[in-house]
């Protein structure tokens, strides 16, 4: 599959920031998960090839057209030019299911997207989740919030499953699959940032918390399939 953007060991803004890498293939939607309230514009301008990074490099092997959009209006304007890749910041737009339907339809026509968001749920609607560097406190808080959300969803899912509410349990299973993806992405980021013994212990504790409120992907996929058959 053709690679549209290959960003390697990028450092943007603060020279002391840890580097990160990102690759996007043709007809792929990648959710780029940012910490809440973290400025995104500089990172996105670098990914769009409009600014140079402090360190690392961004390559566009396919040489296609790249557009940057920071609002839904700009997104529609960008799509009208038929770019190969759109770097889109959701910060100024409320979550919208119609957005993902639009991205899916454009992806089917060959357009790729980097969707920058601070919402785990939004990021996990993409084909794949990647992260920029997080501070340990940021990722620890995000995982704690996600564990709380997953716990409530799992309780509701098991209740619907036990009452044989197949369509409801299938809908909840889809949401839980996304949360599983988000949890794995955040735990991976936490593990990458862990340096001290205390940070490694915190990562192990966070992983145990996530495991304690998770339903396996296999069970969730079976619930989705059961709901589709009804």
At 171-226, the pLDDT tens digits run: 999 999 999 999 999 999 999 999 999 999 999 999 999 999 999 999 999 999 98
d(CA 187, CA 22): 18
Q: Model pTM?
A: 0.91
User: Is 156 in the same domain as 53?
Assistant: no
d(CA 128, CA 30): 5
| Contacting residues for 225 by C-beta, under 8 A, at least 6 apart | none
User: Is 161 in the same domain as 125?
Assistant: no
Predicted confidence at residue 107, as pLDDT, reads 94
d(CA 227, CA 213): 22
User: Is 146 in the same domain as 108?
Assistant: no
List strand residue ranges (DSSP E) for the chain, in order. 3-11, 20-25, 29-33, 55-59, 66-69, 85-89, 112-117, 128-131
User: Is 8 in the same domain as 107?
Assistant: yes
Q: List, for residues 151-163, the tens digit of each pLDDT value.
A: 999 999 999 999 9
Domain count, the chain: 2
User: Is 9 in the same domain as 110?
Assistant: yes
Burial (CB count <10 Å: 0-12, 13-18, 19+), residue 226: middle
Q: Which residue has the higher pLDDT, 230 or 56?
A: 56
User: Is 80 in the same domain as 176?
Assistant: no
User: Is 115 in the same domain as 178?
Assistant: no
Written as one string, the DSSP assignment of 94-135 is ---HHHHHHHHHHHHTT-EEEEEES-HHHHTTSSEEEE----
User: Is 53 in the same domain as 143?
Assistant: no
Q: List, for residues 162-172, the tens digit of each pLDDT value.
A: 999 999 999 99
User: Is 78 in the same domain as 188?
Assistant: no
Domain region containing 214 = 136-229
**What's the alpha-carbon Rg for the chain, to the nearest Å?**
19
Last residue of a domain, one of 96, 131, 166: 131
d(CA 65, CA 133): 27
Last residue of a domain, one of 66, 99, 131: 131
User: Is 9 in the same domain as 95?
Assistant: yes
Last residue of a domain, one of 106, 131, 156: 131
d(CA 36, CA 91): 10
User: Is 115 in the same domain as 15?
Assistant: yes
Q: Would the pLDDT of 63 be above 90?
A: no
User: Is 155 in the same domain as 123?
Assistant: no
Q: Please report, for the domain that includes residue 14, its CATH number.
A: 3.40.50.300
């Amino acid at each position: 599959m053709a690679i549209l953007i290959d960003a390697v060991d990028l450092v943007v803004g603060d020279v002391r920031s840890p580097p990160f890498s990102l690759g996007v293939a043709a007809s792929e939607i990648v959710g780029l998960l940012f910490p809440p309230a973290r400025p995104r514009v500089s990172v996105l301008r670098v990914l769009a090839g409009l600014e140079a990074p402090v360190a690392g490099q961004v390559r566009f092997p396919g040489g296609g057209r790249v557009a940057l959009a920071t609002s839904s209006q700009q997104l529609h304007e960008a799509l009208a030019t038929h770019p190969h890749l759109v770097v889109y910041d959701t910060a100024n737009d409320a979550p919208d299911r119609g957005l993902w339907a639009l991205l899916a339809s454009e992806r089917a026509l060959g357009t790729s997207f980097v969707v920058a968001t601070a919402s785990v749920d939004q990021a996990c609607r993409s084909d794949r989740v990647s992260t920029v560097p997080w501070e340990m406190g940021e990722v620890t808080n995000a995982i704690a919030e996600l564990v709380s959300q997953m716990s409530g969803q799992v309780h509701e899912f098991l209740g619907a499953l036990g009452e044989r509410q197949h369509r409801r349990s299938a809908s909840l299973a889809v949401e839980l699959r996304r949360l599983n993806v988000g949890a794995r992405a955040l735990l991976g980021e936490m593990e990458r940032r862990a340096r001290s013994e205390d940070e490694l212990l915190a990562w192990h504790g966070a992983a145990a918390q996530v495991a304690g409120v998770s339903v396996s992907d296999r069970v969730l996929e079976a619930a989705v399939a059961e709901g589709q058959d009804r």
